[in-house]
Chains A and B, each alone.
Chain A
């Protein structure tokens, strides 16, 4: 045994063996297969699957757009509540965290279905409005459009935005804010110059945790979008499961590759941004 080489605990190499084997077989090999399928067709190696990226550019664009809107709305909605949570007493903080996580324990399909009951023309909101304004009230179209799909995304992923921001905000030392105030910074200046920059890591992980599931969803668009407009997730599902009558792993793999690369780029940019913010933050302190 290589006891002498171990710098700290146990036999490092042996500890990593099951993990390495597992990740190679079930993470790296599958991804290699996706790449392989993306570049092969009936006649072997080909770039022709990539043409579908162009064919479905408007689908890709719509997915990015809706996921982006959902992320921005989540961020705007989450920040104030995360902020007030971080400033509350310890007991309130604990209860609030619990309160925000709790809905996620209910099955997400059932929750999304409940939004149908709320948003439909004969649903809760329109019934209430009818009760107020009388039966002649022209019911609002709240469902089966892009807006309701975005709402579904925001609803399902909002807690993933609130919690990381809240965690980042709790790490800010209260005396720092006092110091800023003592040095003459106004309320909004403290917010813009101290609190916001210091919560950037939380914001970044929040953005990733909302954007990634939003861009690849295929269920929300089906349930709340009336199955009318495919997002890229629906396309991938369709090509792999053959809902429209033809199964084509190659096109599905090519589209999956595109999302993977999109997300890789996004993560890279964000980490870059994060580093900048960190150095800036350091400068402030």
Chain B
């Protein structure tokens, strides 16, 4: 019996060692770094779904010989938890501004060496030194835009939208035809706008009130979705949905009955920027990738594919006039002044938000 116990104990240890060996597969730290240079480097790029012109990646691989392992996420929170749990090591990520400041605070991002990113000079000054990265050390802006409300003109009457209000999402007339963001930050932002509250409010009472609004809305909501919104809006399964401006334009290209507006109560204005993780073992290649993405021709191709506003000035000039003047992509200043950028909420507030969001999903 005792002998057996030792056997099991020793083999357990062996198994553990094998695990360690397997998980360490291919990661031997600095020793291999030299070797890695001569071999093909694989860069793990983690981006939003539908947020790049895929052929750009092929071009990058061809030009530099660096392989790109491209994976996508549906929300900032998903990306963040994957990284924090150690489930994955990425090199380049493209989070939104509030997530960037959170990650800067938590020391997850690497300081960039801008001498490797000469194309950074073509980024407009309006997009540098913003609140989320005040010393412009960690991020290179990729795109920006606002949240808009998309609706189908066939089913939604003129009078329902003439006030361009966020209230359309709470209109009982369209019960079962309204889609809603399936992530708490964006969903609560709309409720805050409806109540005339700041999107970044730190007041518990205001969060409760916003949750109350979402609770009321739940009865009218067809589904909580992220990128499935494309299918559902294009096939006219749903009539009204809030989404990001660039994606809204993609939908409008596919279905001419769709239209959109920035709600008069204001909305979220977001910046998505490219960052390199501190844990990245290929920082230089990552910077090379970021530089490539800022190249004028590449930025134009991406902008044409994803329809978002771009901060790269030279590339902006290359876009066709129609796009340059599109007020959905590049809203006029009076619209932008109504919009608010997310800040990184304190942990306490994040916990309220999570608690209230789960409450929304568990009230039947």
Contact = CB atoms under 8 A, between A and B. Distances in A.
Interface of A: 13, 17-18, 20-22, 24-26, 56, 58-59, 62, 120-123, 141, 144, 226-230, 234-235, 238, 241-247
A25 B222 contact: no
Nearest to A24: B12
Contact of B11 (A21, A122, A235): A21
Contact of B361 (A25, A121, A234, A246): A234
A21 B85 contact: no
Contact of B81 (A21, A59, A241): A241
Contacts of B15: 21-22, 25-26
B353 A244 contact: yes
Contacts of A141: 176
13 contacts: A17-B8, A25-B15, A56-B362, A59-B362, A122-B235, A122-B237, A141-B176, A230-B358, A230-B361, A230-B362, A245-B185, A247-B84, A247-B85
B316 interface: no
Contacts of B362: 56, 58-59, 229-230, 235
A20 B223 CA distance: 46
A88 B14 CA distance: 52
Given A122-B235, A227-B224, A245 B361 contact: no
Contact of B357 (A21, A22, A245): A245
B283 interface: no
B223 A21 contact: no
Interface residues of B, number: 40
Nearest to A26: B15
A18 B16 CA distance: 12
A228 B12 CA distance: 44
Interface in B1-38: 4, 7-8, 11-12, 14-16, 19
B223 to A, nearest CB: 3
Contacts of B50: none
Given A141-B176, A227-B224, A244 B11 contact: no
B103 to A, nearest CB: 14
Contact of B80 (A25, A228, A238, A242): A242
A147 to B, nearest CB: 14
B325 to A, nearest CB: 34
List the 5 closest A-B pairs by CB distance, nearest first. A226-B223, A21-B11, A242-B81, A227-B224, A246-B354
Contacts of B183: 243
B358 A238 contact: yes
Interface of B: 4, 7-8, 11-12, 14-16, 19, 75, 77-78, 80-82, 84-85, 176, 182-185, 218, 221-225, 235-237, 350-351, 353-354, 357-358, 361-362, 364
A229 B360 CA distance: 8
Contacts of B354: 244-246
Given A228-B224, A242-B77, A21 B14 contact: yes
Nearest to B356: A244
Contacts of A25: 12, 15-16, 19
Contact of B351 (A62, A122, A229, A246): A246
A62 B363 CA distance: 11
A238 B11 CA distance: 35
Contacts of B225: 226-227
B361 A21 contact: no
A244 B184 contact: yes
A60 to B, nearest CB: 10
B182 A13 contact: no
B88 to A, nearest CB: 12
Contacts of B182: 227
B77 A244 contact: yes
B361 A13 contact: no
Given A122-B236, A141-B176, 19 more contacts: A13-B4, A20-B8, A22-B15, A24-B12, A58-B362, A121-B176, A123-B237, A227-B182, A227-B224, A234-B361, A235-B362, A241-B82, A243-B81, A244-B77, A244-B354, A244-B358, A245-B77, A245-B184, A245-B185
A118 B124 CA distance: 48
Nearest to A234: B361
